[in-house]
Structure 1
Amino acid sequence: MTRVAIMTDEIGWHTRQLQAALRARGAIGRCIDLADCHIDTTAAWHGLALPGFGRALPDAVLVRGVAAGSFEQVTKRLGVLHALRELGVPVYNDARAIERSVDKSMTSQLLHAAGIPTPPTWA
C-alpha cells in the first residue's frame, strides 16, 4: 500500500479530508510534523529520521506548510524536504517551490527573468 507523509503542524479537518481522499485511492496518509523530522545518518541507509516510517521512506510527501521558527529550524526543515527529493521521493510543494514563493524578492526576480510583468521591485 502506498504510504504518503502529510507534513503539517496542524491536524484538523483539512488533514482528515486529505487522509480520506488518499484512503479512497488505496493509500495511507500519515500526518507528521516536519519539525520532528531530521537528518540522522545513523538511522537508516537514507540518512533521515521520519516519525512513523521507521527505517523506510514514504512513497510521496504532501507539504501542507512549514512552521515558523529560527533560521536554523526552518533551514533544517527545508533540508529534510531537499533530501527527500534527492532520494527520489515525490514531494508536492517541495523545498524549492517553498523557497521561491516565500522569498518575495526571489519571486519577483524569477517572474521578471521569465518576462512576466511584475511591479518594480528593489530588495
Structure 2
Amino acid sequence: MLPATTTSSEQEVIVNLARRLTTLGYVYIASAHERTMEDREDIRFMPFHQDLLPSFGVMAGVFVVRDQNIASAAREAYPEAHVLVIDPDRVEEDLPDFEPEVIRSWPVPQASRPALLRDLAVAA
C-alpha cells in the first residue's frame, strides 16, 4: 500500500520488489497515485484510499510503505496476512534475502495455504 507521501522513485522500488513476487501468485499494488484499476506486467495496480483498504478474500502478505497506522489497519483487515512496514530507501538493506522462497517459508494456517499461491498482496 502506497500512501500519497510515497515519491515516484520510491514507487519504482516497490514495483521492482513486486515483480520479484509475481512467481508466487497474483500481486496487487494499491497506490494513492493510481486513479483507476489496471493490470501491468502481471501486477494489478489500483487506487488506494487510506480510509478504505482494498477488499480481498485472503491475503498472504501486505507491505505498507512507512505508515504504521495503515499497517495496524491492515493487520485488523487481513488477520492471516504477514504485514510488513517497509522503507523503500532501505529495501536492499532490510530485505536482502526477500525472495519468493522466503515467502514460501512463512508459516501460513493450513486453511489459507492455497491463498499463499493465489493472493500475495504487495502493499506498500
Shorter chain as denominator, the TM-score bin is: 0.3 to 0.5
Q: Tell me which of the two structures has the higher relative contact order, counting C-alpha pairs closer than 8 angstroms and 6 or more residues apart.
A: 2
Q: TM-score under structure 2 normalisation? A: 0.39
Q: With the length of structure 1 as denominator, give the TM-score of the two structures.
A: 0.39
Larger of the two Rg values belongs to structure: 1
